[in-house]
Amino acid sequence: MEDCNALVKDNRQVARDTYLMTLACELSPFTPGQFLMLRLTGSCEPFLRRPLAILSCREGAVELLYKVKGRGTSLLAGKQKGEELSALGPLGKGFSDPRPDEEAVYIAGGTGLPPILAMAERIGRGHMIIGAYTKDDIPLWQRMQDIRGVEITAATEDGSMGMRGVATQALDDLLKKLQPPCVIYACGPAGMLKAAASLAKGFGARCEVSIEERMACGFGVCSACVVRTTTGNQRVCIQGPVFDAADIEWGQ
Ligand code: FES
């Protein structure tokens, strides 16, 4: 874990309310699912560090994909080339690699694309499902298409791109066609993760979920990010954000 000054190299809108930021920043190698705590510098605005999953990190350039959802991310979207941020990370626990005999399935919904795309790019084989309300909410479509060895399916609720429906319907369809063993990597809204966990159980697939939780410190000292598991409460920032889906108490 390092705390480094990061210069904005690029910060552009790539879908509705969604931005791709590239930072000049020397980070240790990361595992998809790991995140940075990002803080604006030189501002009087109250701005806790924000957790953002790392999309890529190579040759001193770190990519982050984020959706503008409030004051903090709105300020982030206004950052221009040459401005400075403070980045702490890589933090947390990322996804495990698939075993050689496992068919890999990646599923992302809502703001869950960064760790899933990072994992698909790292592994370079398998099937990926991206779910959104409409095609305007899907960023980096061409980049996903360019991953050789990974077949991409879009599911939109309004039917404007790919199949009409939600990502977990596409997952159900896909799992029926695949030969086990399979491993599912998922990130997105809690309802999607719960449904993916249930499908995985039904198909006898391994499933790892990256949980999006509010965080304050990002490294285990404040307990702002607790999730219920079968072995008690765990802190998402250090014991996750990636968990075995079978270990999470999903609730009703
Ligand atoms: S954010 Fe502080 S313990 Fe997780």
Non-local CB neighbours of 185 within 8 Å, separated by 6+ positions: 95, 104, 105, 106, 107, 115, 116, 119, 207, 208, 210
pLDDT given at position 3: 78
pLDDT in tens, 92-140: 999 999 999 999 999 999 899 999 999 999 999 999 999 999 999 999 9
Predicted confidence band of residue 251 (pLDDT cuts 50, 70, 90) = confident
Whether residue 9 contacts residue 23, with contact meaning beta carbons closer than 8 Å, is answered with yes
Mean pLDDT of the residues in the chain: 94
pLDDT given at position 146: 96
pLDDT given at position 216: 87
56: three-class secondary structure by DSSP: strand
Nearest atom in ligand 1 to the alpha carbon of residue 235 is 4
Give the Å distance between the CA of 234 and the centre of ligand 1: 10
pLDDT in tens, 136-173: 999 999 999 999 999 999 999 999 999 999 999 999 99
**Looking at domain 2-91, does it have CATH number 2.40.30.10?**
yes
Test site for ligand 1: of 48, 52, 214, 222, most ligand atoms within 8 A of the Cβ = 222
Test site for ligand 1: of 93, 215, 234, most ligand atoms within 8 A of the Cβ = 215
Q: What is the domain partition of the chain in residue ranges? A: 2-91
pTM of structure: 0.96
- Ligand 1 pocket, 221 CB below 6 A? yes
Test site for ligand 1: of 234, 235, 239, most ligand atoms within 8 A of the Cβ = 235
pLDDT in tens, 54-89: 999 999 999 999 999 888 889 999 999 999 999 999
Give the Å distance between the CA of 236 and the centre of ligand 1: 7
Nearest atom in ligand 1 to the alpha carbon of residue 236 is 4
Whether residue 210 contacts residue 95, with contact meaning beta carbons closer than 8 Å, is answered with yes
- Ligand 1 pocket, 211 CB below 6 A? no
DSSP string of 71-126? HHHHHHHT--TT-EEEEEEEESB-PPPPPTTPEEEEEEETT-HHHHHHHHHHH--E
pLDDT given at position 71: 85
